[in-house]
Amino acid sequence: MRLSLEIEGNGSAFADGGETETARLLRQAANRIEAGHDCGNLLDINGNTCGAWSFEATAPESAICPDCGTWAEPDAIGQTCNECGRGIIEADEF
């Protein structure tokens, strides 16, 4: 998966440099993620939309055999390992 998050720090809420407001917005997104949402807008302290975030599903970039540790192409996920003949290739999640 990938999390994209954009903040346009132009409003008066960011006038002091924006560190406090940016941290507040990240907490806002974190709370929404924890509550089970997968996208949302970010509202600055004045109630103005100043950004958005979203999770995107991404295809795994690599795969691995859990038995012998051999790397494999993502196409091989779910197939028996060619190296050891035992393991079932699975996505290598970071």
Nearest Cα neighbor of 25 from 5, 1, 10 is 5
**Of these, 83, 90, 91, 92, which contacts Zn ion (CB under 5 A)?**
83
Number of residues counted as binding Zn ion (CB under 5 A): 8
Distance, in Å, from the CA atom of 92 to the CA atom of 94, rounded to the nearest integer, reads 7
38: how many CB neighbours lie within 10 A of its CB?
A: 13
In the complex, least distance from residue 64 CB atom to Zn ion, rounded to whole angstroms: 9
Residues 47 and 54: beta-carbon distance below 8 Å: no
Instruction: Rule CB under 5 A: say whether 92 interacts with Zn ion.
Output: no
Binding mask 15-54 for Zn ion (x = CB under 5 A): ----------------------------------------
Which residue type sits at 85?
Answer: G
* Position 81 contacts Zn ion (CB under 5 A): yes
